[in-house]
Structures are given as structure tokens and as C-alpha cells.
Amino acid sequence: MWMGTLFALIAGMMWGLVFVGPLLLPEYSAALLSAGRYLAFGLIALPLAWFDRARLGQLSRGDWLEALKLSAVGNLIYYLCLASAIQRAGGPLPTMIIGTLPVVIAIAANLRNAKRDGRLPWGQLLPSLALIAAGIACVNQAELHALEAAGEPDWARYASGALLAVVAVACWTWYPLRNADWLRDHPGRSPRTWATAQGLVTLPMALLGYALLWIGMAIGDSDFVMPLGPRPEHFIALMVTIALLSSWVGTLCWNEASQRLPTSIAGQLIVFETLAALSYAFILRGHWPAPLTLAGIALLIVGVLWAVRVKPVRD
């Protein structure tokens, strides 16, 4: 139990790093950050694919197409929306919205395939949903106060950031459900091979995205210096760090935790990611969260922990 919890904590700390990139490189567009991160991840997947080439060769054309869809939505589009949300609305509010994922996924599974996975009683979910909504409202209010104190706020930019965070939640709600469907329909396939396949198909998409951004900036006569921007060393280091630690080490540690912990407990420990991301955001700001923000974080954690304790029932 202790080792499993430790692995889950490390995974959360690694995953929290993805929220830092847009804050450390604000002059880089979200699209370039997304393409750069998954270009690095795709290159990391190449040697893994060489060692797993025999199993990868067993995948059909339909399997590769499914991996392409999963990577496009769960990797590129998700991080594009998340990075855009953080750059527009700051770190805390998008992080809180993303922190609702365990509950949103449970609700989506409830609506989508209750016969297979069991049904979560709505009456038992309502208190957790109320706590989560109250927590997000508290953090939102605190962020609005901070914007007003800093000067004339751009409300449209802030609202668009919150909306993009919701779209990111939708992407990562669809991804694990669809990914689980494939794994259940192919019990003989290795999850590691499937993860490597998704990393491989991410590489050409990231390359294409990067090329289109470069061409678009050249046509638009942009002042942005391509291919690596005004701070190439920082950009390369951050993209490789996030790709290696968040995409590979984080997933590895989470798999180790999942092998040691009951699913009901592992689901609760996803909140480590939210806590890590919020901690990093406030460290970069250089001050403690406001009391209202701390209250919102506490409400979110309690709400998520309450929800993941709800046991599915069979009709």
C-alpha cells in the first residue's frame, strides 16, 4: 500500500508538469507547445517501438486507425486546449476544471454503458457534484478578484480559457473510455504495445502540425522565430522534459501504483496531479493561494474523493 501510494504520488507530480509549460513559455503559442511536446514524445517512442516491433506488427490497419484517433484527441487536441486555457485564464482555474476528470469520466460511463460497467446511483453522486461545483466557484471568484486587482481584466480572454479547459475535459473523458473499449475488445494485446503504438502515430501528426505552423507563420510574416522560437534552449529542454517525465515516467509510475492498489483507492489518488499542478502554478506566482482558493481546492478534493467511493450497482 505504501509503495503503491508513493508511485501514485510520483505519477501525480510528473503529470502536474504539463500544466507548467504554458506558464514558463508564455510567448510560445499553445499549438506550438502541443506539437513540440508530442514531437518529443514520438521520438522517445521510436526506440521503444524497436524493442516491441514483433507485437506492433500484429496490429491491423483498423487498430492503427483507432490509435490515430485516440492520439489525435487524447494527446494533441487535449494538450492544445489545455495549454490555451492556461495561457488565457492562468493556472488555477483550468487546473481545477481538469481536476474534475475522475468524476466526469464516471458520469460519462454511467450514461454510456451502465449495463457493462454498472450504474452509479445519481443520489449518491449529487453531494460530490455540489462540492466540486462549489470548489470551482470559489477558485473562479478568487481568480476574478486577482484579475481586477491587477488592472483592467480581459474578461473575454478569461472566459475563453475556462471554455477551452472544459473542451480539454471532454477530450480526456472520451479518450480513456474509448481506449478501455479497445483494450477490453482485444484482451490478448499488450497495454504496453498499445501505448507505444499511440506514441508512434503521434509522431507524424506532430510533425505535420509543426510544419503547418511554420508555413503559416511564414505566410503571415510573423515575427516569431521558427523553428524553435526566441528561447530555443528552454523550449527544447522543456518539451523533452515533459515528454519524458509526464508522458513516460508518469505513466510508468501510475501502472506500478495500479498493480499495488485497489482500483477504488487508485482512482482517489489521481487528485495528486491536481495538487501538484496547483502547487507548481502558485510557486511560479511566488505567493500562497488566497484563503478562498484554498477553500475551493479543499472542496474539490473532498468532492472527488466522495465520488470515487461510490460503488457501481448492477441493474
**CA of 88: how far to CAs of 29, 92, 137, in Å?**
11, 11, 18
* Count of alpha carbons within 13 angstroms of residue 187, beta-carbon side: 0
Q: How far apart are CA 120 and CA 200, in angstroms?
A: 36
Q: What residue segments make up the domains of the chain, in order of their start?
A: 2-308
> Using 50, 70 and 90 to split pLDDT, how confident is the model at 257?
confident
Q: Is the pLDDT of residue 153 over 80?
A: no
SS3 state of residue 313? strand
Q: Is the pLDDT of residue 95 over 80?
A: yes
> Using 50, 70 and 90 to split pLDDT, how confident is the model at 215?
very high
Percent residues over pLDDT 90 in the chain? 35
User: How high is the pLDDT of residue 315?
Assistant: 60
Q: Is the pLDDT of residue 152 over 80?
A: no
CB proximity list for 132: less than 8 A, separation 6 or greater: 100, 103, 299, 300, 303, 304, 307
Q: Is the pLDDT of residue 311 over 80?
A: no
* Count of alpha carbons within 13 angstroms of residue 188, beta-carbon side: 4
Q: Is the pLDDT of residue 110 over 80?
A: no
Check if the beta carbon of residue 257 is closer than 8 Å to that of residue 4: yes
Greatest CA separation for the chain:
61
User: How high is the pLDDT of residue 267?
Assistant: 63
> Using 50, 70 and 90 to split pLDDT, how confident is the model at 147?
confident
More confident residue, 247 or 266: 247
**CA of 48: how far to CAs of 54, 87, 234, 291, in Å?**
12, 33, 26, 46
Q: What angle do CA 182, 183, 189 make, to 5 degrees?
A: 115
Q: How far apart are CA 144 and CA 295, in angstroms?
A: 15
Check if the beta carbon of residue 42 is closer than 8 Å to that of residue 303: no
**What are the beta bridge partners of residue 119?**
313
pTM of the model: 0.86
**CA of 315: how far to CAs of 103, 113, 118, 121, in Å?**
21, 12, 7, 11
Other beta carbons less than 10 A from residue 59's beta carbon: 16
Other beta carbons less than 10 A from residue 17's beta carbon: 21
DSSP single-letter state for residue 243: I
CB proximity list for 202: less than 8 A, separation 6 or greater: 38, 41, 42, 45, 71, 75, 76
To the nearest whole number, what is the mean pLDDT of the chain? 86
> Using 50, 70 and 90 to split pLDDT, how confident is the model at 314?
low
**What number is the average pLDDT over the span 149-153?**
75
**Would you state the cell numbers that stand for residue 275, as one nine-digit string?**
495538487
